[in-house]
């Protein structure tokens, strides 16, 4: 099939590349010339495992093209995917500016009957607006159909997820439109759920809201566990072994971040308000997450009194491992709080440092490896559970720091391992380790700054 994809971000690029991989002829369109220039050379502008190989392969096979000229990609396309951003507006709702512009672009440039498929996460009713805008701008007697085909990929495993998804949701007004999308997706061999457009739009928000709820729930249990002396790792394991609950998304930590959960939970609250529904549960999920983001910093404040003048190592900057995405990363709030406190921050991330430099305070310094980040530091904060950080941070802290102290926002280590290497260790939902042994000497250390 001849397919156009508008937007080459995490979703558009992965979708375009994977559709080409299963045999479709795909043109990806983006307004960002620099991005398209890179893409044409086979260089993905994002870090995503396995994407570069598939991209180059499909460019070579002439099944995948990139352009900034909408007409080039749209005039001949039978199916057009919209995968532009839907960022959070000032009032929390989804900003649909890019969606409306993409719909206008489609209307102005298509030259045949077209099926417009929305992959972007959009509020209920948006697909009908897209249809209206496209119809208002088409320059011929072309039939316009729309479909909601929400995307469930996770950053860091986006290619894998596209070929191994749990379901493909197809929301359409007609059986014909659904049949076209089923045919396109047939090679992926993933179960298809056909629904109305509105239900498909709701499935995406409900899925993200539910996963965010699981995280805030386990973080609340973690806070409680700390107070009553339970261990959240054991608690989450025991809870998750119940198949009705499931073990995934029960990792307590410094809260959820990223390009989706924060904005999509806020957007769903706004969607609810528009129909006069007070979504109390989701509002609490958001509040708990906001509080969770500050817990590690508060613990450190309690431990030291002040962090003024201290050299603090931040390990892991991306919002999660295996991505260079800094959107709503916990490191942003932490770096801001530490800098405001007067701490000297030295940061390390295996992949996200270039992106981090654009959003972290200017005073933050960057180390080229874990060892350099921690060797002169008084305290280490772990914010992203990269494999490399999990493997090295504890050992290196015990070897290279004078009095090793770690605040771990991702529970990377067991209590036993930290006890063994004599590291003073604070995590989430578990009691502190080696706290008393060196507490007093460190208090004196803090007082000397
Ligand atoms: N990132 C994820 O993991 C993920 C997963 C599932 C769903 N989603 C949803 O998918 C959508 C896209 O997310 P993303 O992270 O890929 O966005 P992104 O911001 O990384 O990329 C969007 C791209 O669209 C381009 N663009 C904007 N307007 C355009 C236009 N008129 N014509 C051509 N290109 C245009 C931008 O230049 C940009 O490159 C959002 O609605 C998001 O909520 C994202
Ligand atoms: O047990 C957990 C699991 C995740 N997180 C955090 O939650 C955030 C989101 O993680 P994850 O869901 O793995 O990453 P995303 O790439 O943001 O993917 C989510 O958001 C996408 C965009 O809508 C959806 O497509 C995916 O299905 C959905 O998982 C990150 O900050 C994680 O650190 C936790 O704190 N504890």
Any atom of ligand 1 within 6 Å of the Cβ of 12: yes
% of residues, the chain, pLDDT over 70: 97
Spacing, Cα 387 to ligand 2 middle (Å): 17
138 in the same domain as 281 = no
188 in the same domain as 280 = no
Supply the pLDDT for residue 436. Answer: 55
Spacing, Cα 84 to ligand 1 middle (Å): 3
255 in the same domain as 174 = no
Residues classed as catalytic: 260
Examine the fold and report which residue of 168, 195, 222 is the final residue of a domain before the chain moves on: 195
Spacing, Cα 437 to ligand 2 middle (Å): 37
Contact 4, 73 (CB under 8 A): yes
46 in the same domain as 134 = yes
159 in the same domain as 36 = yes
Any atom of ligand 1 within 6 Å of the Cβ of 322: no
CATH for 121? 3.40.50.720
Examine the fold and report which residue of 165, 195, 225 is the final residue of a domain before the chain moves on: 195
Supply the pLDDT for residue 132. Answer: 98
- The reported pTM is 0.96
Examine the fold and report which residue of 257, 291, 325 is the final residue of a domain before the chain moves on: 291
172 in the same domain as 265 = no
Q: Is the pLDDT of residue 300 over 70?
A: yes
Supply the pLDDT for residue 180. Answer: 98
Supply the pLDDT for residue 200. Answer: 98
Q: Taking residues 184-190, what's their average pLDDT?
A: 98
CATH for 255? 1.10.1040.10
Q: Taking residues 303-332, what's their average pLDDT?
A: 97
Which residues share a beta bridge with 313? 346, 380
287 in the same domain as 297 = no
**Ligand with smallest separation from the Cα of 331:** 2
Report the relative pairing of strands 144-148 and 168-172 from DSSP bridges: antiparallel
303 in the same domain as 166 = no
Q: Is the pLDDT of residue 449 over 80?
A: no
Spacing, Cα 20 to ligand 1 middle (Å): 19
Q: Is the pLDDT of residue 447 over 60?
A: no
159 in the same domain as 61 = yes
**pLDDT confidence tier of residue 237, bands split at 50, 70 and 90:** very high
Q: Tell me if ipTM is over 0.90.
A: yes
Q: Is the pLDDT of residue 448 over 90?
A: no
Q: Taking residues 201-207, what's their average pLDDT?
A: 98
- pLDDT, one tens digit per residue, over 355-374 is 999 999 999 999 999 999 99
Give residues (CB < 6 A) around ligand 2: 121, 151-155, 208, 211, 215, 249-251, 253, 256-258, 260-261, 319-320
Q: Taking residues 371-393, what's their average pLDDT?
A: 97
* Residue located nearest, by CA, to atom 11 of ligand 1: 120
Q: Taking residues 380-395, what's their average pLDDT?
A: 97
Listed in sequence order, the residues at least 6 apart from 124 whose beta carbon sits closer than 8 Å to its beta carbon are: 198, 201, 202, 271
- Domain count for the chain: 3
- pLDDT, one tens digit per residue, over 59-109 is 999 999 999 999 999 999 999 999 999 999 999 999 999 999 999 999 999
Triad 116, 48, 71: Cα angle to 5°:
30
Supply the pLDDT for residue 435. Answer: 86
Mean pLDDT over the full length of the chain: 96
Supply the pLDDT for residue 438. Answer: 45
91 in the same domain as 46 = yes
Mutate to test the pocket of ligand 1, among 5, 8, 11 (most ligand atoms within 8 A of CB): 11
266 in the same domain as 347 = no
Q: Taking residues 279-290, what's their average pLDDT?
A: 98
User: What does the radius of gyration of the chain's CA atoms come to, in whole angstroms?
Assistant: 24
Binding residues for NAD(+): 30, 35, 86, 121, 155, 263, 327
- Return the ligand 2 atom nearest residue 251 CA: 1
190 in the same domain as 153 = yes
Q: Taking residues 125-135, what's their average pLDDT?
A: 98
Q: Is the pLDDT of residue 253 over 60?
A: yes
Residue range of the domain that includes 423: 293-448
């Amino acid at each position: 099939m001849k397919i156009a994809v508008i937007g080459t971000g995490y979703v558009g690029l992965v979708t375009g590349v994977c559709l080409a991989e299963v045999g479709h002829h795909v043109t990806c369109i983006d307004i960002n010339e620099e991005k398209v220039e890179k893409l044409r050379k086979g260089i993905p502008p994002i870090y995503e495992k396995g994407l570069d190989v598939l991209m180059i392969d499909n460019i070579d096979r002439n099944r995948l093209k990139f352009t900034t000229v909408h007409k080039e990609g749209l005039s001949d396309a039978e199916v057009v995917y919209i995968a532009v951003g839907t960022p959070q507006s000032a009032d929390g709702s989804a900003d649909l500016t890019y969606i409306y512009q993409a719909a206008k672009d489609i209307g102005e440039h298509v030259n045949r009957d077209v099926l417009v498929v929305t992959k972007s996460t959009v509020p209920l009713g948006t697909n009908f607006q897209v249809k209206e805008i496209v119809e208002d701008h088409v320059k011929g007697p072309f039939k316009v159909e729309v479909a909601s085909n929400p995307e469930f990929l996770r950053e860091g495993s986006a290619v894998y997820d596209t070929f191994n998804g749990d379901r493909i949701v197809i929301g359409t007004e007609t059986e014909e439109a659904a049949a076209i999308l089923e045919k396109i997706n047939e090679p992926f061999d993933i179960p298809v759920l056909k629904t109305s457009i509105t239900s498909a739009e709701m499935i995406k928000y409900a899925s993200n809201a539910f996963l965010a709820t699981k995280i805030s729930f386990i973080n609340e249990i973690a806070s409680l566990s700390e107070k009553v002396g339970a261990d959240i790792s054991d608690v989450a394991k025991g809870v998750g072994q119940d198949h009705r609950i499931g073990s995934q998304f029960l990792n307590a930590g410094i809260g959820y971040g990223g390009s989706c959960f924060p904005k999509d939970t806020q957007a769903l609250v706004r969607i609810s308000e528009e129909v006069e529904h007070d979504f109390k549960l989701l509002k609490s999920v958001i509040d708990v997450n906001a509080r969770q983001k500050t817990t590690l910093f508060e613990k450190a404040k309690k431990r030291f009194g002040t962090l003024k003048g201290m050299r603090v190592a931040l390990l892991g900057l991306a919002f999660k491992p295996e991505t260079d995405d800094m959107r709503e990363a916990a490191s942003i709030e932490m770096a801001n709080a530490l800098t405001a406190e007067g701490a000297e921050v030295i940061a390390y991330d295996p992949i996200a440092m270039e992106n981090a430099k654009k959003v972290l305070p200017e005073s933050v310094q960057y180390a080229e490896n874990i060892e350099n980040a921690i060797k002169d530091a008084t305290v280490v904060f772990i914010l992203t559970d990269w494999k490399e950080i999990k493997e090295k941070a504890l050992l290196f802290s015990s070897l290279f720091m004078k009095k090793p102290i770690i605040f771990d926002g991702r529970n990377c280590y067991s209590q036993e391992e930290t006890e063994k290497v004599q590291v003073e260790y604070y995590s989430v939902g578990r009691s502190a380790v080696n706290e008393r042994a060196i507490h007093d000497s460190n208090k004196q250390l803090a007082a000397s700054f």
